[in-house]
Amino acid sequence: SRLGTSVSGAGDLNGDGRDDLILGAPITTKLNAYAGSAYAVFGSDGLSPGRTIDLYNMGADAIELNSNGAQSYAERVGHSVSGAGDVNGDGFNDLLIGTPNYCYLVYGAANLSQINPLKLLFPFYNPGAGVVLTNPQGSGNFSILSYTVKVSGAGDFNRDGYDDIILGANGEAYVIFGAPSLGSNDIFNAANLNGSNGFRLTGMAEYRSDYTKTVASAGDLNGDGYDDLIVGSPGDSAAYVIFGTDKPFPASLDIRNLTSLPAP
């Protein structure tokens, strides 16, 4: 199953006062070959030292997140996972799950066990329970050369009170600002990034087809009250820091020209 290929703290997904975890297992075969799964493991007083949680018989300790199996081979759900912070501002932390074809943003809730989309069925059966993030062309592949999309929470990059997210692909990255509602009909197409709802970072050298841009929140590096971002670009043998700001962004930015970025 390759459980542990990706792991992340998830914050408090279900509002019980305890932080939770998200784990990726992209080679599980429950639905088809290499369909993959992700597991949200809930924090509790029962997580004592030395205890083992069997994710194939997990009970109330965790929830399994799968696709609907519509792709016949190698969907690889869980190749990249991350806590997303509270993207929609409802008081529950959210999850990001990357596959080679889509990214899924799954909203936290008080009773996650009753939300069908936590099986990651696509399209989502419960409107408002999550968002599928697609590429500018709308085909589902963020980059033809990209093996998978890397996902990360971005903190509150523009300090509007909603946590943001960043997605990395081969040669580009996408910053999507949090909001009470993202996209339309549970789909957010990155072609609709216009600077006010997020922006696209371009200009990074493409590398091997199995490498994508590594992306992460960097915290507040310069102490100005805005969370910052870091984007790794192995094709350039470089990493780029983008300082958070509430200044307007264009829809697309060439990361090689950092002087074109709005001043913090």
Model pLDDT for residues 235-261, shown as the tens digit of each residue: 778 888 999 999 888 898 888 777 655
Say if residue 210's pLDDT is above 70.
Answer: no
Per residue in 143-164, pLDDT (tens digit) is 333 445 788 999 999 999 999 9
Contacts of 153 (CB under 8 A, 6+ apart): 82, 83, 84, 85, 96, 163, 164, 165, 166, 217
Cross-strand partners of 23: 7, 39
- CB atoms < 10 A from the CB of 217, how many? 23
59 secondary structure, DSSP code: G
Predicted TM-score of the model (pTM): 0.81
Which amino acid does the sequence have at 5? T
Task: For residue 103, give both structure tokens.
Answer: 């990214």
State the Cα–Cα distance between residues 60 and 191, nearest whole angstrom: 39
